């Protein structure tokens, strides 16, 4: 069974120089607008129960496509067939009325989903309970914090256990507790057989969550296929665009939320000048402040990146089934006994993730800079040494 069927969908936005031109156009019958096509000739299908990621640059048409899938925007041309039981997490809370109470906004939101009065009353307690807003539910929404509004938006959007869930960068809702709760809710919905359309700039999450992916470029499908292949192709294209001007490696501030585990420090286990030889032992020590989190909920991912943005290698304790240890702090040594990298400038990316691999507690990008030098050209050219052998035949 198909959860989604899009046939030659195009969406054009008429752009009027002034609002008044809309009226003049209608009265005189002469065109007074130009049309910007955000989507052109989009066709794909999604089986019920499968997951689809959408990647692409800003302005590629991702948000427009999600709006079409969510049913809040009618395409200019083409056919979009989707199940009625769909929920969209797009700009959570954007449609709320600030002067109304949380309760009234829930009622309106549920009515907009097509529920009757009886059904609204049936689902009200579930939304309030999931959003954890019981004490404030009668208060006007303008008194809510942005996190509370997003919690309410998420609870409202997912209360009906949809058959098609459309998510736009919505995995960071509210505080850490609610982030985990919302992520769990999404996973439950998907596990129950719903299809998922997930749009994110976080390609790691797209790879983890989605089986298939679409790469949109200037409103058209550049590639559609298995998520891993599409994301890899998209990343390659991004790198090719940037390789003209090699990235200047510069330290980037760490980025963690309070009361979450974070990377206390990271340092190379090396000589003072941070220069390694190809084939030499390489190591890095990462100290993690667990911040009272159970150590089994914390994992470390490390990516080695060259200064032309090439990701040389990445791995995590989660994917290799390594459990961290410690109570307040966890210390991790990442060691490569024989560094296969060839000459170049490198740095590390460190990712502190949860046990689902989807939530990022903390990250350090472009840290622990180091240089690799070769003893001779005989060690090879390129990014790294690969195990190999030669066979020579005389004919």
What residue ranges bind another protein (CB under 8 A)?
Answer: 13-16, 19-20, 22-23, 26, 33, 71-72, 74, 90-91, 94-97, 99-100, 104, 107-108, 111-112, 114-117, 120, 140
Nearer Cβ to another protein (121/259): 121
- Contact between 68 and 199 under an 8 Å Cβ cutoff? The reply is no
Smallest distance from the beta carbon of 155 to another protein, in angstroms? 16
Q: What beta strand segments (E) does the chain contain? A: 2-15, 34-47, 51-56, 77-82, 86-89, 164-168, 195-199, 212-217, 220-226, 262-268, 275-277, 282-289, 299-306, 311-316, 329-336, 344-353, 360-373
Nearer Cβ to another protein (29/135): 29
Smallest distance from the beta carbon of 260 to another protein, in angstroms? 30
Smallest distance from the beta carbon of 96 to another protein, in angstroms? 8
Tokens of 33: 């607008």
Residue that has been written with the tokens 């009757």 in this structure: 116
Does an H or E element contain 209, and which?
helix 203-209
Smallest distance from the beta carbon of 174 to another protein, in angstroms? 19
Nearer Cβ to another protein (91/169): 91
Q: What beta strand segments (E) does 32-188 contain? A: 34-47, 51-56, 77-82, 86-89, 164-168
Helical H segments across 85-145, by residue range: 102-112, 117-131
Smallest distance from the beta carbon of 195 to another protein, in angstroms? 19
Distance CA 213, CA 337 (A): 37
Nearer Cβ to another protein (62/305): 62
Nearer Cβ to another protein (108/247): 108
Distance CA 155, CA 150 (A): 8
Residue 270 DSSP code? S
Nearer Cβ to another protein (99/375): 99
Nearest CA-CA partner of 96 in 167, 144, 134: 144
Distance CA 344, CA 387 (A): 19
Nearer Cβ to another protein (114/251): 114
The vertex-150 CA angle with 147 and 152, nearest 5°, equals 110
Distance CA 62, CA 45 (A): 16
Distance, first Cα to last Cα, the chain: 58
Smallest distance from the beta carbon of 158 to another protein, in angstroms? 16
Smallest distance from the beta carbon of 185 to another protein, in angstroms? 21
Smallest distance from the beta carbon of 104 to another protein, in angstroms? 6
- Contact between 40 and 219 under an 8 Å Cβ cutoff? The reply is yes
Nearer Cβ to another protein (85/264): 85
Smallest distance from the beta carbon of 341 to another protein, in angstroms? 48
Residue that has been written with the tokens 């066709």 in this structure: 43
Nearer Cβ to another protein (23/243): 23
């Amino acid at each position: 069974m198909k959860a989604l069927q899009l046939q030659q969908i195009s969406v054009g936005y008429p752009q009027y120089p002034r609002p008044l031109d809309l009226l003049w156009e209608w009265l005189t019958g002469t065109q007074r607008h130009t049309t910007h096509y955000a989507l052109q000739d989009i066709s794909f299908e999604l089986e019920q129960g499968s997951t689809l990621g959408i990647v692409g640059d800003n302005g590629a048409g991702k948000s427009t496509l999600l709006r079409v899938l969510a049913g809040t925007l009618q395409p200019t041309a083409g056919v979009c067939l989707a199940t009625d039981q769909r929920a969209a997490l797009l700009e959570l809370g954007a449609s709320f009325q600030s002067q109304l109470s949380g309760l009234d906004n829930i009622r309106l939101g549920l009515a907009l989903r097509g529920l009757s009065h009886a059904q609204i009353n049936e689902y009200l307690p579930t939304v309030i309970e999931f959003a954890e807003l019981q004490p404030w539910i009668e208060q006007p929404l303008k008194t809510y914090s942005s996190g509370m509004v997003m919690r309410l938006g998420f609870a409202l959007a997912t209360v009906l256990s949809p058959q098609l869930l459309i998510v736009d960068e919505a995995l960071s809702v509210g505080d850490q507790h609610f982030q985990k709760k919302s992520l769990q809710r999404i996973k439950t919905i998907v596990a129950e057989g719903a299809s998922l359309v997930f749009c994110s700039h976080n390609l790691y999450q797209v790879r983890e969550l989605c089986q298939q992916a679409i790469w949109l470029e200037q409103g058209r499908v550049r590639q559609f296929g298995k998520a891993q292949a599409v994301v890899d192709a998209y990343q390659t294209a991004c790198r090719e665009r940037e390789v003209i001007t090699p990235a200047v490696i510069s330290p980037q501030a760490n980025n963690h939320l309070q009361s979450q585990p974070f990377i206390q420090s990271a340092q190379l286990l090396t000589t003072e000048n941070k220069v390694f030889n190809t084939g030499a032992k390489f190591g890095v020590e990462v100290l993690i402040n667990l911040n009272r989190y159970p150590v089994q909920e914390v994992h470390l991912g490390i990516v080695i990146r060259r200064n032309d943005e090439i990701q040389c290698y990445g791995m995590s304790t989660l994917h290799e089934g390594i459990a961290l240890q410690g109570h307040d702090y966890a210390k991790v040594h990442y060691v490569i006994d024989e560094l296969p990298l060839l000459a170049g400038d490198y740095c590390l990316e460190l990712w502190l993730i949860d046990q689902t691999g989807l939530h990022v507690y903390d990250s350090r990008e472009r840290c622990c800079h180091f240089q690799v030098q070769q003893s001779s050209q005989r060690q090879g050219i390129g990014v790294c040494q690969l195990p190999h052998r030669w066979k020579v035949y005389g004919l």
